[in-house]
Amino acid sequence: MHDDLPLRILVIEDDPDTRANLADILELDGFVADAVGSFSESLNHDDRDQLLAIILDRKLPDGNAEELLPKIRRAFPDAAIIIVTGYADLDGAITALRHHVADYILKPINPEALRNSIQRIAELRRTADALRQSENKYRCLFENANDLLFIVDPESGKILDANIRAATQLGYHRDQLMSLQIHDICKDDNDGNLDLLLQGKDISHAWVVEKEFVRADGKTFPVEISSTWLHDGGRQVVQCFARDITERKRAAEAIVQERDFADSLIETAQAIVLVLDCDGRIVRFNRFLEELSGYRLEEVRNKNWFETFIAPPDRDRLKEMLRDTLRGLPARGFIQPIVTKSGSSRDIAWWDKMLKNPQGEVTGVLSVGHDVTELRRVQERLLQSERLSAIGQMMAGLAHESRNALQRSQACLELLQRRVGDNPKALELIARIQDAQDHLHQLYEEVRGYAAPIRLDRQHGSLREIWRRAWDHLSAVRRGREASLIEHLTTEPISFVDRYRLEQVFRNLFENSLAACSDPVEIDVSAEELVVDGRPFISIGVHDNGPGLSAEQMERIFEPFFTTKTKGTGLGMAIVQRIVEAHEGRICVDHACSSGTRIVIQLPRGQA
C-alpha cells in the first residue's frame, strides 16, 4: 500500500454486524475505518477533510441514501461515496449516479470487490491530489512571480487572467484588467510586434519583443514580453511574461553614455592613447596620434608597433620594456621618440600599464604619451639662455678688465711708435701688433654684445633711414670697392624699433654681403607689407649677388660661433637674430632664392 498517512474511511451502517464486518475488512487492508450508525452520528466526525471515502448503507434510521446524499455531499465535499445496498434496483442506481456516487456495492459484501473499489478511489484521489498540487504550484508561481503575467486570448487579445504584480504595476484592479485587451495596456503597436506575439503559433518558439506598457494613470514603462502557447481546457491561450526593464534600460543607457564619454575623451585628448597586444601589435590608438604621426589607424592596425613607429636602434630595448610592463612593472614618464610617417621624430613621454580582460588575463598594454618635443626645445633654449647669461656676467667683468688692459697696451704701443722713430721695419711690426690688438678688441666686444641682455629703446621710424645710415657707416669697408645699394619699396617701411640695434642688424648683413661678393657688388633691399596672425608686419629682403649659401650654411647661419670668414667670431648673425627676435620679429634665409643670398627680416609695424 501507500507509505503516506493511512487513508481514513467512514462507514455509516445501522446494522452492527455489517458495520463491524466492513470495519474489519477495511482495517485489514490498512485503512483507518471509523464506523457510525447514522448520518447524524457521522456529523460528529472530526477529521472530515481527511476522509477518502464514505461507505453508506442505503437505508438508515434518519433517512435513505437518496434523501441523505445531498447533505453528505455538503458535509464531506472531498470524500468519495460508496453505497452499500441489499438489493439492486435501477432507480437507486440512477439516483446514486446523479449524486456522483463513486461506486455501488451489493450485500452480502464481497471483500474483494470492496477492496478493488476502495483502491480505485484511492488511486483517483492520489491523482487528483497531485493535480491539485501542481495547479497550486502553478498558481503560486503565477501570483508571486516578479514579472507581469497575463493569459491572453490570441483571437481577441482579451486578457483572461493577470497576476497581482501585473495589476499593481499597471495601477488597475485585477478585475479591471480582465475587462481589457492586451492592446489597451500597450503603447501604440505600430510595429505589429504584439500581433506577432499573439499569432506566432509556433509553440516551440518563444517570442520576445520590447514594448511600452501604459499604466492606468497614463504613465508608461518599458517591458520585455515573451509569450508561449498553452492548451487550456481544449482551447489555445497565450501566456505572456512581461518584465519591467526600466532599470535595465537605464543601466544600458548609462553604460552607453559612459562609453561615449570615454571614447570622446580618448579622441579629444591632447595626448596619445595607444593599445598594444601582448606581441606589440597595434590594437587601437586615438586621433591625436593619427594627427601627430600622419598614420591612419586603419593602415597600421595589427602591424607591429616597434617596426612601424620606433627607430631601429631603440626597438630591442623597447620590446624588453613591453615585456616588463606585461609582467606588471608599469613604466612612468620615460621619454622615447617616435618616427612619424614623414620621417621626422617627436619626443614622447610615455606612461605604460598592462591591460587585463574581465577574466584577469593580461591582454596587452595601454600607453599614454605626451608630446614633449616643444617642451624639450624650450628647455634646451632655456638652458642655452642660462648659459649665455652666465657667460654674459663673466664677459661684463672680463670686458672691463680687457678694456683697461687693452688701453694700456694701446698707450704703450703708441708711445713705442714715437720712440722707434723712423724705422720702417719696426713700424711695420707695430702696425701688425695694432691690427691684432684691434681684432682682439673687436672679438671681446662682439662676444659681450652677444651675451649681454638686449634692452631696446624703441621709436617709430623709417627702416630705410636706418639701413642707409648702416650703409654710409660702412664707407670705410667699401673704399676701393665697386658696391651699390638698390632699393625696391612697395611701402614706406615704418616700424617701431631700436634704431641703434637695427643699424647693427643691417651693418652685419651688408658686411657679410661685401665679404662674400666680388665686385661689382649689388645689394638689393626690398620692403613690403605683410600680415602675420592678423598683425601688420614689414618684410625686408636683403638680397646680394654673391655665390649664395651652401645647404650647411643655410642650416647653421644663425648658430653662435659658426663662420665662413677667416676673420670674425661667428657671432654676427646670431646677434642679428637675437636683435630681430627681441623686436618680436623673425629672420630667415630665403630658401627659394636661386641666385645670391637673400635674408628676410619680418618686423611688426608696431602701434600706428
Of 116, 268, 407, 595, the residue at the interface with another protein (CB under 8 A) is 407
CA distance 284 to 300: 9
410 lies in the site for another protein, by CB under 8 A: yes
Q: How far is the CB of 398 from another protein (least distance, A)?
A: 11
Q: How far is the CB of 416 from another protein (least distance, A)?
A: 11
User: Closer CB to another protein, residue 78 or residue 435?
Assistant: 435
Of 203, 255, 415, 431, the residue at the interface with another protein (CB under 8 A) is 415
Q: How far is the CB of 481 from another protein (least distance, A)?
A: 24
CA distance 542 to 200: 89
- The piece of 103-111, 122-130, 408-416, 549-557 that touches another protein (CB under 8 A) is 408-416
Give the angle subtended at the CA of 302 by the CAs of 301 and 307, to the nearest 5°: 95
Q: How far is the CB of 395 from another protein (least distance, A)?
A: 13
Of 400, 439, 473, 488, the residue at the interface with another protein (CB under 8 A) is 400
Of 47, 299, 316, 401, the residue at the interface with another protein (CB under 8 A) is 401
411 lies in the site for another protein, by CB under 8 A: yes
The residues, any chain, with a CB within 8 Å of residue 397's CB and separated by 6 or more, are: none
Residues within window 437-456 making contact with another protein, judged by CB under 8 A: 441
Of 327, 332, 418, 567, the residue at the interface with another protein (CB under 8 A) is 418
Q: How far is the CB of 438 from another protein (least distance, A)?
A: 9
406 lies in the site for another protein, by CB under 8 A: yes
User: Closer CB to another protein, residue 198 or residue 399?
Assistant: 399
- The piece of 34-42, 220-228, 405-413, 488-496 that touches another protein (CB under 8 A) is 405-413
304 lies in the site for another protein, by CB under 8 A: no
555: which 3 cell numbers? 642650416
Which residues pair with residue 183 across a beta bridge?
A: none
The residues, any chain, with a CB within 8 Å of residue 154's CB and separated by 6 or more, are: 198, 199, 229, 236, 237, 238
Q: How far is the CB of 453 from another protein (least distance, A)?
A: 12
Q: How far is the CB of 415 from another protein (least distance, A)?
A: 6
Q: How far is the CB of 429 from another protein (least distance, A)?
A: 18
381 lies in the site for another protein, by CB under 8 A: no
Residues within window 105-124 making contact with another protein, judged by CB under 8 A: none
431 lies in the site for another protein, by CB under 8 A: no
3-state secondary structure of 163: coil
Parallel, antiparallel or unpaired: strands 586-589 and 272-277: unpaired
SS3 content of the chain, % helix, strand, coil (to 5): 45, 25, 30
Task: Specify whether the CB–CB gap between 113 and 85 falls below 8 A.
Answer: no
409 lies in the site for another protein, by CB under 8 A: yes
Of 414, 465, 487, 529, the residue at the interface with another protein (CB under 8 A) is 414
Closest of 5, 237, 7, 258 to residue 120, by C-alpha: 7
Closest of 206, 210, 180, 205 to residue 193, by C-alpha: 210
- The piece of 168-176, 247-255, 399-407, 586-594 that touches another protein (CB under 8 A) is 399-407
Cα dihedral 91, 97, 99, 103, rounded to 10, equals 110
**Rama region for 533: left / alpha / beta (φ>0; ψ in -120 to 50; rest):** left
Q: How far is the CB of 424 from another protein (least distance, A)?
A: 20
H, E, C per residue of 380-439 = HHHHHHHHHHHHHHHHHHHHHHHHHHHHHHHHHHHHHHHHHCCCHHHHHHHHHHHHHHHH
Which strands sit side by side in the sheet containing 32-36, from one edge to the other?
32-36, 8-12, 51-57, 80-85, 103-106
412 lies in the site for another protein, by CB under 8 A: yes
User: Closer CB to another protein, residue 40 or residue 434?
Assistant: 434
Residue-wise DSSP of 85-121: ESS--HHHHHHHHHTT--EEEESSP-HHHHHHHHHHH
What residue ranges bind another protein (CB under 8 A)?
399-401, 403-404, 406-412, 414-415, 418, 441
